[in-house]
Structure 1
Amino acid sequence: MNIERKELLVTSFALFSLFFGAGNLLLPPLLGYNAGENWLWVTLGFMITAVLIPIIGILAHAKLQGTMYDFGKKVSPWFSSIYCIIVYIISVAIPSPRTASATHEIAIHPAFGTDPLLTSAIYFALVLVFVLNRSKILNLIGKFLTPFIVIMLLAVIGIGLSSSSFSTGESTFGSPVVSGILEGYQTFDAIGAVVVGAVIIISLNFKNMKVSQFESKRKLIRQSGFIAGTGLFVIYAGLIAVGAYYGSQIEVNAELSTDMQRANLLRGISIAALGNFGNTVLSILISLACFTTAVGIVAGTADYFRGLFNKSNTAYILTAVIACMAGIGVGQMNFHDIIVIAYPVLLFIYPITIMLILLNVLPERMATPVVFRAVVIVTFIFSIPDVIGFVSPSDGLKSITDFIPLAKHSLGWVLPALLAFVITTLVQPKSKVA
């Protein structure tokens, strides 16, 4: 029993840490600061896409116990293969390099004034070392790195809230819940769920469990998912609250870029809560949180391509090296530029990912291949106006989106996808009988 409890804690900590990266730390405080008096509503929206959907994704992994390919195979094999490749390319091209960029801008450059290329090169060299020591990932992250991250986060949040005046400013958001939902996209946690969930499954060792391997995996993954989700909820809510209540006492220069506003606000909160030591704490916190996420992304990508080539270790190593080289290249960009590039990509891939996650946790009789195909096709079609509207808005497009519910909030796919699910679920039994 002690072994099982220890395994559960290590897995839960590792899962939390693989989720919790650059955006997860930098986004919530400024979100709370801008939400002001409406920070609770923003928190609600943020939790939907940054906690609820990702943890459902982990539950789907517990049910499937395969790779990301299994998430989309009911649509069709070719769709699932293309989807996996797109997601992994996005992962190593955006969120993984973003962790290096955040580490450089907040932790390394202010202290040492080094070039971003040097930071990225050293950073991803260390990532590669961890990824190549594949069997030790869970223990290294779960036993040592994550507890330290959690302790420092709780210290910043607890001291920050206890010493705040509990006064908030006016909200700058017209629709706080929707703003929270869309900001949750930027955490990449839903995509992270399908990527790092597979990392957890492959990394687990079940030799000491007394029940069948499948059942022990499902139980352990479910429980660790709930624990990690609870941790994410507490940390996110705490950071948003600190930004809302304590941020009013800290000068946030509106003329600065958004990424510098995020960094300065978080730095100001850390220093105000922990004194001069707060700057050091923030630097270490950013570095560790970003690093563990990059390790999870690169390991997950390497795992997938290893599977494509008959479990070839050469494919695993080559993929890891390429992913780290891509990280070095893109990681030299600043954090804000990477977010700007990421947004239209997320508007395209996030809705499909969310629907695949939700469909995969449903009972088989409700989520048949026909339902999968209908929902994914409709989601894809109604996501296109959101992407085009962000990249190249026009009056003609606006006249179309005006007729789509929630389209003005970049959520025009939600109701059509739900309608497609309901119709195909109701019609399908009749077609089977016929």
Structure 2
Amino acid sequence: MNIQRKELLVTSFGLFSLFFGAGNLLLPPLLGYNAGEDWLWVTIGFMITAVVIPIIGILAHARLQGTLFDFGKKVSPTFSLIYCILIYCIAVAIPSPRTAAATHEIAIFPAFGTSPLLTSAIYFTLVLVFVLNRSKILNFIGKFLTPLIVVMLLLVIGIGLFSSQLYAEAPNYETPIVTGLLEGYQTFDAIGAVVVGAVIIVSLNFKNMAVEAYESKRSLIRKSGFIAGMGLFVIYAGLISVGAYYGSEIDVNSELSNDMQRANLLRGISIASLGEFGNTLLSILISLACFTTAIGIVAGTADYFKGLLNNSQTVYVITAIMACVLGVVVGQLDFNSIIMVAIPVLLFIYPITIILILLNILPEKLATPVIFRAVVIVTFIFSIPDVIGFLSPTENLITLTSYIPFASHSLGWVLPALVVFIITALVQPKLKRF
């Protein structure tokens, strides 16, 4: 195998695995289970925020080849600094600990009955070991862990679909595409794209990857992004469809919390398709998928603060340790509690992240600083009602949002951002003449 093909496969597998974590494995099956006959429509919505936007984010990284700071610097350096700090704090406070919670609830507790504190302590100790050896992260994940994860997933999905009756129940969602789209927020993949994309950039800068030229890196990142995106698409669609078709065969117990429903469904699918061995396989799969994602998040956060503070290796180590300690503390919460905390945060930060990703992939003439500022400000303003509406909805707020298109679906920012983008893009060239 020539070096370019080898690097492409390693980078593609590594990127896939850094994306694929707790939410990516647990969310799709229950989404399909509740979607029933509408599972395809839910899948389309889910793919927009869980696959398309994140891969565009990777393409933006391929173009910028910098850090997360470069995503927002056209708005202003101050905005970008605040945005970066906020993103990395969110990443280490929610999705990273969530991987430990998922590992404990599905893989560790059913087998050993140990406390979540012990699980998260051992888990993040191992994460820290890998992060402090960051030059080997991409190679190790890409060569060993991800192929194993992919094979396990394809076994569960393939055998599951082949052995099921392919009968889906009546749907439970009124707007399946919107439900899928918003559920895609919970994967954190758009945020993951801007965080772990930087990890890929840094990893490629190490000599052992033998990729130095800008164009070579850009080509490698773009191709690996597309391959990882196709992998995510196949896995997500497979998990959603398996959840839909096993809806009549597996009792998830609606009286349980959502996280336990997700765990029961995924465990039931694994056992139904692979027998009791499926339960063991699921435990290993959950552990590996979550572990690689936690590594990517902590390494990306440590990389950013290292670059922010004079490229200090000491800062890298301290940041990694702090992120892992926070992971131990928050990781003791159950999976669903972490999701509930995440929702208002995502309703605020996800729209801005999506806008920054989309603007950074556009040609320069359509992504000027003026356009960046106008669109981001409008997106920020129209995201506020979504957050307030989730936390404490009032009659006045409901009346106000009734005049905003799609606001009832927590997407009130979409049309205003699009309108402002078009108007600013049309008006700006004319203003330059005066």
Q: Which category of TM-score, normalised to the shorter sequence, fits these structures?
A: over 0.9
**Residues 383-422 of structure 1 mapped to structure 2, 5 A cutoff:** 383-422=383-422
2:378 is aligned to: 378
1:76 is aligned to: 76
Q: Is the 8 A contact 1:3 1:208 kept in 2?
A: no
1:318 is aligned to: 318
2:335 is aligned to: 335
2:3 is aligned to: 3
2:385 and 2:85 map into 1 onto residues whose CA distance is: 23
1:131 is aligned to: 131
Unaligned runs of 5+ in 2: none
1:358 and 1:11 map into 2 onto residues whose CA distance is: 23
Residue 182 in 1 paired to residue 211 in 2? no
1:290 and 1:330 map into 2 onto residues whose CA distance is: 15
1:245 is aligned to: 245
1:375 and 1:168 map into 2 onto residues whose CA distance is: 41
- Which range moves more in the overlay, 210-219 or 288-297? 210-219
Q: Is the 8 A contact 1:206 1:216 kept in 2?
A: no
2:104 is aligned to: 104
1:89 is aligned to: 89
Distance 1:34 1:209, change over 3 A: closer
2:101 and 2:186 map into 1 onto residues whose CA distance is: 15
Distance 1:69 1:205, change over 3 A: closer
Is the partner of 2:427 in helix, strand or coil? helix
1:209 and 1:137 map into 2 onto residues whose CA distance is: 12
How far residue 209 of structure 1 moved from its aligned partner, in angstroms, is 8.9
Distance 1:246 1:122, change over 3 A: same
2:2 and 2:227 map into 1 onto residues whose CA distance is: 17
1:212 and 1:127 map into 2 onto residues whose CA distance is: 28
1:116 is aligned to: 116
Give a deviation string over 1:176-231, Cα, whole Å, max 9, x none: 00000000000000000000000000001576999961000100000000000000
* Amino acid aligned to 1:258: N
How far residue 309 of structure 1 moved from its aligned partner, in angstroms, is 1.0
**Residues 33-432 of structure 1 mapped to structure 2, 5 A cutoff:** 33-205=33-205, 213-432=213-432
Aligned residues, how many?
A: 434
Q: Is the 8 A contact 1:4 1:209 kept in 2?
A: no
1:74 and 1:127 map into 2 onto residues whose CA distance is: 34
Q: Which runs of 4+ in 1 moved over 2 A?
A: 205-212
How far residue 117 of structure 1 moved from its aligned partner, in angstroms, is 0.4
Q: Percent identity?
A: 78
If the length of structure 1 is used for normalisation, what is the TM-score? 0.99
Distance 1:152 1:211, change over 3 A: closer
2:360 and 2:328 map into 1 onto residues whose CA distance is: 35
1:364 and 1:215 map into 2 onto residues whose CA distance is: 18
Q: Is the 8 A contact 2:34 2:173 kept in 1?
A: yes
2:201 and 2:370 map into 1 onto residues whose CA distance is: 28
Give a deviation string over 1:233-268, Cα, whole Å, max 9, x none: 000000000000123211121101011000000000
1:71 and 1:234 map into 2 onto residues whose CA distance is: 28
Distance 1:34 1:211, change over 3 A: closer
2:222 and 2:99 map into 1 onto residues whose CA distance is: 27
Q: Is the 8 A contact 1:34 1:171 kept in 2?
A: yes
Give a deviation string over 1:342-390, Cα, whole Å, max 9, x none: 0000000000000000000000011000000000000000000000000
2:347 and 2:266 map into 1 onto residues whose CA distance is: 27
If the length of structure 2 is used for normalisation, what is the TM-score? 0.99
* Amino acid aligned to 2:104: H
* Amino acid aligned to 1:131: V
1:209 and 1:249 map into 2 onto residues whose CA distance is: 47
Is the partner of 1:249 in helix, strand or coil? coil
2:273 and 2:354 map into 1 onto residues whose CA distance is: 37
Is the partner of 1:433 in helix, strand or coil? coil
Distance 1:79 1:25, change over 3 A: same
Q: Is the 8 A contact 1:209 1:216 kept in 2?
A: no
Is the partner of 2:109 in helix, strand or coil? helix
1:170 and 1:178 map into 2 onto residues whose CA distance is: 18
1:209 and 1:277 map into 2 onto residues whose CA distance is: 37
Distance 1:310 1:62, change over 3 A: same
Unaligned runs of 5+ in 1: none
Q: Aligned-pair RMSD on alpha carbons?
A: 1.1
Is the partner of 1:56 in helix, strand or coil? helix
Give a deviation string over 1:282-328, Cα, whole Å, max 9, x none: 00000000000000000000000000111100000000000000000
1:433 and 1:17 map into 2 onto residues whose CA distance is: 50
Q: Is the 8 A contact 1:206 1:213 kept in 2?
A: no
1:302 and 1:252 map into 2 onto residues whose CA distance is: 39
2:29 and 2:421 map into 1 onto residues whose CA distance is: 36
1:133 and 1:209 map into 2 onto residues whose CA distance is: 15
